[in-house]
Structure 1
Amino acid sequence: MRKLFLLFALLASSISFSQELNCTVNVIAQQTGNENDIIFKTLEKQLTEFVNNTKWTNNSFEAHERINCGMVINVRENNNDAFSASIQVSSSRPIFNSTYSSPIYNYNDKDFNFQYLEFQNLVFNESQFESNLVSVLAFHVYMILGMDADSFELNGGSDYFKQAQTIANYSQQLSGQGWKLEDGLQSRFALIDNIMSPSYKSIRTAVYMYHREGLDIMNDNQKDGKTKIISVFDELKKVHSVRPNSFLMRVFFDAKADEILDILNGGPKVNVADAKDILNKIAPMYSQKWRNIKY
């Protein structure tokens, strides 16, 4: 009986503390001229453990359900405990009944300045500022969680986006870039402000339609899946008509442009001429790619 109890306790513990992310963190420090300094390896190891071992939600994730993602931190300068860097964050989402993973979040955060002492304790507080290092990583973790959840359920990522907004709000107290309105149209503030705005709700609808109603059915019916993905561009037109050339649209296509090109050029033939025209209007930054769409 005691052994049975211990087995149950271990199983319960493994469920209760299962984490959400399978994240690769790389710290690149070539621009500092001192890339072999041990502090960069220590930072990389600590951040990897922080992102992957922190319990970010109240949900239970099996090992195979963890979200695959990556963070590449490019350190430009460091002076004692002060670091100036950028961080490229990406994540992908498995497609039903296939071995393919679809890119879903791809964001280059250029304003990542932080303080770090080797082996310092990294703790996330959902309602209180701890450090800019923790805030930036936690913000992007919740963006990853929100985008992933939106792709499985319509507006399923709302709670995660609310937490990202909370982090942005309480991080405005410091002088670091990226958290305030005046920090520009491509800042973390702008990103979460757009996501939470009703003006951009069609982008979140498009994320769901694209993945759940498009990609997830392509293994069973490629033509229907491809047709649904093309219909997503009409949904995105609604945003473009209100907010042309918006940053959030750019974030969507930064993740999806290559994949869209492959989908439109591959598989069963459907009418893609109209889709090409729409893409050139709503995502002109990728017009060179759209020129390669064949029909």
Structure 2
Amino acid sequence: MRRHFFIFFLFISVLSVGQELNCTVTVVAQQTGNDNNQVFRTLERQLTEFINNTQWTDKKFKTQERIECSMVINVQNYNNDAFSATLQVQSSRPVYGSTYSTPVYTFNDKDFQFRYLEFQNLVFNSNQFESNLISTLAFHIYMILGMDADTFAPNGGNNYFRQAQTIVNYSAGNGGKGWKLEDGLQSRFALIDNLLSPTYKEFRSSMYSYHRDGLDLMYKDLKKGKEAVSASVSDLQKMHGRRPNSFLMRVFFDSKANEVASIFSGGPSVSISQLVNALNKISPVNASKWQKIKF
């Protein structure tokens, strides 16, 4: 009997102590002219194992609760152990009561320079710089965790965003572009700085209401869910009024533009004139998508 109980306990433990992410890592190296080099495949395999096997939080995630995400590293130049690349990061989360997954975090990091020797040991330290490779990946991992948590609870991602900010702080003095104020308005520094600023508070409140009051409600009341999505998007006008054409507005619609256009192009009719006006004001770059909204 005790043996059966131990086996059952072990089974439950395996199910509930899994790591947080189910991340697909792809290394693309055509631009180097030497994409068959084994180092790229080794890098891809090592990063996949590192990201998915590292325990990034103190929370217990069941296998089915892992966050689905992807990272595409496009290597542009490679010389010995020096890499120059871009990093495309995407994550999604399931919508309650459906088989649909909604995009949550989309970011194209254009300043990704790092050093890597094949088979080198990859270690993350939450309070100490290890390498630009580890810092950049860890920063985006905590962004994924924070953005996901914000869709389930108001300001639920606070702890993860603070860790992302810690990574920015200790990486700034160790070289590499993207960690400092002077690195531009669309850098890692700018992203976390804006995200934690009260000037852009509607971004995070809208992320919560869009998903929990909107998408997650649609399984039982599609019209009410659509109205909540509309209200959450329209609420972003307050942020736009303080900071027109902000970086965070772009981050929001990089993930949500296609989805918003799709939600309001079918299904039960809701009032959309105010929504369309708001969309054209706060995200004019997506005007062609807003033209598809018919109801």
TM-score using structure 1 length:
0.97
1:16 Cα deviation from its structure 2 partner: 6.8
Taking the TM superposition and a 5 Å limit, the aligned residue runs for 1:16-55 are: 17-55=17-55
Q: Is the 8 Å Cα contact of residues 16 and 62 (structure 2) preserved in structure 1?
A: no
The aligned amino acid for 2:98 is S
Shift of 1:234: 2.6
Aligned residue number for residue 292 of structure 1: 292
Cα displacement (A) at 1:155: 0.5
* Distance in 2 separating the partners of 1:9 and 1:120: 36
Asked if the contact 1:127–1:166 (Cα under 8 Å) also holds between the matched residues in 2, the reply is yes
Partner of 1:186 in structure 2? 186
* Structure 1 residue 233: Cα displacement: 2.2
Q: Distance in 2 between matches of 1:13 and 1:294?
A: 50
Shift of 1:285: 1.5
Q: Does 1:261 align with 2:261?
A: yes
Equivalent residue, structure 2, for 1:162: 162
Secondary structure in 2 aligned to 1:40? helix
- Partners of 2:264 and 2:293 within 8 A in 1: yes
Q: Are the equivalent residues in 2 in contact too, given 1:146–1:161 (CA < 8 A)?
A: yes
Structure 2 residue runs of 5 or longer lacking an equivalent are: none
How far the C-alpha of 1:136 sits from its partner, in A, is: 0.5
For 2:276, give the aligned amino acid.
Answer: K
In the other structure, the counterpart of 1:276 is 276
CA offsets per residue over residues 241-285 of structure 1, 9 Å max, x none? 101100011000000000000001111011111111100101112
Question: Does the CA contact (< 8 Å) of 2:17 and 2:62 recur in 1?
Answer: no
| Percent identity for Structure 1 against Structure 2 | 61
> Counterpart of 1:77 in 2: which secondary structure?
strand
Give me the whole-angstrom Cα distance separating, in 2, the residues matched to 1:71 and 1:144: 11
Structure 1 counterpart of 2:135: 135
The number of equivalent residue pairs is 295
Q: Is the 8 A contact 1:17 1:55 kept in 2?
A: no
d(CA) in 2 for partners of 1:124, 1:258: 35
SS of residue paired to 1:265: coil
Give the Cα separation in 1 of the matches to 2:232 and 2:157.
19
What is the alpha-carbon distance in structure 2 between the residues aligned to residue 17 and residue 217 of structure 1?
A: 29
Is the CA contact 2:222–2:268 (under 8 Å) kept in the aligned structure 1?
Answer: yes
Amino acid at match of 1:145: L
In the aligned structure 2, how far is the partner of 1:101 from the partner of 1:234? 23
Match of 2:104 in 1: 104
Question: Residue type of the partner of 1:126?
Answer: S
Say yes or no: does 1:150 pair with 2:129.
Answer: no
- How far apart in 2 are the matches of 1:37 and 1:237? 49
Cα distance in 2 for residues equivalent to 1:127 and 1:212: 33
Shift of 1:5: 7.0
Mapped contact 1:15–1:60 kept (Cα < 8 A):
no
Q: What's the CA shift for 1:17?
A: 4.0
Q: Report the Cα distance in structure 2 between the residues aligned to 1:198 and 1:113, rounded to whole angstroms.
A: 31
- Structure 1 portions without partners, runs of 5+: none
Pairwise CA distance, 1:12: 6.8
RMSD: 1.4
- Is the 8 Å Cα contact of residues 26 and 73 (structure 1) preserved in structure 2? yes
Letter in 2 for 1:229: V
